[in-house]
Each structure stands twice: as structure tokens, then as C-alpha cells.
């Protein structure tokens, strides 16, 4: 049974849409909206040593979390953080290298590595208290203007980084492990899941009104493998969170959508390769869908963006929808183009 705490919001469209309640228009926000495209974000970011310092400085993380609400007019804020704070808290430090991405000097290869670099016996607030503090500051500053989204990486995606040590086109080391040592893979996935549940509950206690689980690398596994090494652990997280609505975004996992629809979540995110009508037919009316304009559509002209956005909105045959991109907004997108996208959504009249 889901128990949602009530809170007065000036704009609660996102939460109503997630819960399947009546909405007067579709809510809209963007993945990776907190930063990247905004000059206000870059001014803050450039005053620091790097991305990690920004993540770990609560007052500044809160500031850039709120910037898209102020400057873009989105219907929700999402806390400025990173999915890789979880492996770091567990004992596997990472670095974010400019124009390269995340890099782990050490990786998990053996059972002995689990002891050193995949700890679970620690207080999450002790190691990730900066995220808690950022959420508390953001909640106070937002003062009920819009809901605040908390998030974490899905266990499979975090596993990929902990095994391969960085981004990859194939994550062959991670996939090799599930064939060669599935017991070790399950042990690590279980540990990640345990810490992630505690982390998300910390975020909710601090003030997050909805949480999203990002499975960025879901699409690299076959359907049966994803059920075994991905979905099983996502379900444990979804089953454990009943305080606020839960969104699952499994990028590229088209074949798994019918199984994901059985998860104990409120909303399923779609990437831009998924047809809204097909996913709605798979999922039915029991779940809200989120997405799914191609991020590259925002490189179009303003009039084209308006047309493409309206085409997408026309494809919705249900009020159970939250508008977003099919992945994070790209850093070189013109913020004015993003505003056109958001304005088009806000001006759209729901026809059913």
C-alpha cells in the first residue's frame, strides 16, 4: 500500500500526474535540467574546482537545483547530485574527468574487492549527508512552489561503473561477470540495492517529494538477463519505497516494459526510441508514462520545436503522462529553445 504524505504546493501537477489524479495540463520538467544549459549554472560551476565540489557543497547544489524553476519555468526541481555518490559512499572513489566522464581507479573483480570497496555497514547520512543538507536547503527555498525530485542510479547501472570503471559502449567486463561469476554479481547488486534504499529514504526524509531510479544502461542486457540482474533489484527498491511516488527510467529496455509495468512504481520513463502508443498499450492505465521528446529535437527552429512537441502531445491518449525528454538535455542546447518546448507544453489543451 502506498502512503503519500500531503503537503501544500502552489503547483502539484507532477505529483497529481504521478498518482493518476486529474490534471488541467501536462506537467513538464527535463532530465539534467539542473545545470549544463544555463549560464547561471556555469557561473557557479566555474567558481569551483569541479563538478564534484559542486555536488558536495549543499548551499550551491541547492542554488543550481532551483535555477531551472526560476529561469525555465519547469514544474519540478530535481536535486543536483550524481548517481555515482553511491559507489563512492560504499568505498569506491571516482573522479569526473572533463570531456571524458567518470573514472574509477579501482574496480570490483573478486570477492576480496567486495570487502574493501562495496561496504554496506555504514550510516548513509554520515557519508552522504551533503545530499541530505542540499535537499533540506532546497525544500526550504522552494517553499512549496513545485515538488522536489530525489534520485539514485539503478543497481545494474551502478554495478556497470563499479565493474568496468567508467563509461563504455559495451560494458563487457560487467556482462562477462554475470556469465563467469553470477554469484559475485548478485552479491554486489544486492549490496548496491541495500544502500540505495537507505539513500532514497534519507532523501525522502529530508524533503524529496518523488524519487526517480535511473537505469541508464538497462538496454545493454537481453530481456531475460535484465529480468535477472536488473529488474529484480529495481523491484526491491520500488517495493521498499511507499512514502512518495516512484519513477523508473530504464533507458533502452523496450522489451522489458511489460515486466517493468508490473513493478510497484507510479511512473515509467520512456526514451525517445519508444512509441508512446505502443508503450501505453503494453502498460495500460495503471501507470503514468514520462517522456519522451528526442533531446536533439531542441536543436530545431522554435517553430519546429513547437510542432514536434505538439505532435508528441497529440500522441498521448491519457492524462497519465509527465512530459520530459527521452534522455537528459544536451549541454549545448540554447536555453531559449528549451523555453519554447516548455511553453508549448504549458499552452497545450488536453483533449480527452
Please choose, from the candidates 82, 65, 186, the residue with its C-alpha nearest in 3D space to the C-alpha of residue 128. Answer: 82
Helix (H, G, I), strand (E, B) or coil at 108: coil
Q: How many CB atoms lie within 10 A of CB 167?
A: 14
Catalytic residues: 32, 36, 45, 82, 161
The three three-digit cell numbers of residue 142, written as one number = 522552494
Beta bridge partners of 212: 151, 247
Q: How many CB atoms lie within 10 A of CB 349?
A: 7
CA dihedral of 83, 64, 76, 271, whole degrees rounded to 10? -40
What is the enclosing helix (H) or strand (E) of 173? helix 172-180
State how beta strands 267-269 and 210-215 pair: unpaired
Please choose, from the candidates 194, 191, 196, the residue with its C-alpha nearest in 3D space to the C-alpha of residue 116. Answer: 191
Please choose, from the candidates 98, 99, 111, 40, the residue with its C-alpha nearest in 3D space to the C-alpha of residue 69. Answer: 40
Contact 276, 316 (CB under 8 A): yes
- Is 232 exposed, middle or buried, given 0-12, 13-18 or 19+ CB atoms closer than 10 A? middle
Contact 269, 328 (CB under 8 A): no
The three three-digit cell numbers of residue 143, written as one number = 517553499
Q: What share of the chain is helix, strand, coil (3-state, %, to 5)?
A: 50, 10, 40
Cα 50 from chain centroid? 21
Amino acid at each position: 500500500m502506498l502512503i503519500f504524505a500531503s503537503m501544500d504546493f502552489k503547483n502539484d501537477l507532477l505529483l497529481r500526474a504521478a498518482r493518476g489524479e486529474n490534471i488541467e495540463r501536462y506537467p513538464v520538467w527535463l532530465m539534467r535540467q539542473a545545470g549544463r544549459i544555463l549560464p547561471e549554472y556555469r557561473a557557479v560551476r566555474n567558481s569551483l574546482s569541479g563538478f564534484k565540489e559542486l555536488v558536495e557543497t549543499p548551499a550551491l547544489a541547492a542554488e543550481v537545483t532551483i535555477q531551472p524553476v526560476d529561469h525555465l519555468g519547469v514544474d519540478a526541481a530535481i536535486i543536483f547530485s550524481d548517481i555515482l555518490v553511491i559507489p563512492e559512499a560504499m568505498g569506491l572513489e571516482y573522479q569526473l574527468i572533463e570531456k571524458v566522464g567518470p573514472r574509477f581507479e579501482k574496480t570490483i573483480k573478486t570477492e576480496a574487492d567486495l570487502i574493501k570497496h562495496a561496504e554496506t555497514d555504514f550510516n548513509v547520512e554520515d557519508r552522504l549527508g551533503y545530499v541530505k543538507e542540499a535537499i533540506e536547503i532546497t525544500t526550504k527555498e522552494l517553499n512549496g512552489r513545485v515538488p522536489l525530485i530525489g534520485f539514485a542510479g539503478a543497481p545494474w547501472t551502478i554495478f556497470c561503473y563499479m565493474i568496468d570503471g567508467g563509461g563504455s559502449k559495451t560494458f563487457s567486463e560487467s556482462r562477462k561477470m554475470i556469465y563467469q561469476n553470477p554469484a559475485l554479481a548478485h552479491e554486489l547488486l544486492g549490496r548496491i540495492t541495500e544502500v540505495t534504499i537507505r539513500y532514497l529514504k534519507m532523501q525522502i526524509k529530508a524533503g524529496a517529494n518523488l524519487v526517480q531510479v535511473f537505469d541508464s544502461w538497462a538496454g545493454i542486457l537481453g530481456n531475460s538477463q535484465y529480468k535477472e540482474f536488473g529488474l529484480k533489484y529495481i523491484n526491491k527498491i520500488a517495493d521498499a519505497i511507499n512514502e512518495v511516488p516512484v519513477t523508473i527510467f530504464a533507458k533502452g529496455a523496450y522489451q522489458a516494459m511489460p515486466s517493468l509495468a508490473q513493478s510497484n512504481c507510479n511512473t515509467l520513463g520512456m526514451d525517445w526510441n519508444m512509441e508512446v502508443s505502443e508503450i501505453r498499450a503494453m502498460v495500460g492505465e495503471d501507470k503514468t508514462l514520462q517522456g519522451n521528446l528526442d533531446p536533439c529535437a531542441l536543436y530545431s527552429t522554435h517553430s519546429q520545436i513547437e510542432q514536434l512537441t505538439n505532435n508528441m502531445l497529440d500522441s498521448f491518449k491519457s492524462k497519465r503522462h509527465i512530459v520530459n525528454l527521452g534522455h537528459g538535455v544536451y549541454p549545448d542546447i540554447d536555453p531559449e529553445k528549451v523555453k519554447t518546448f516548455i511553453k508549448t507544453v504549458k499552452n497545450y489543451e488536453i483533449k480527452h
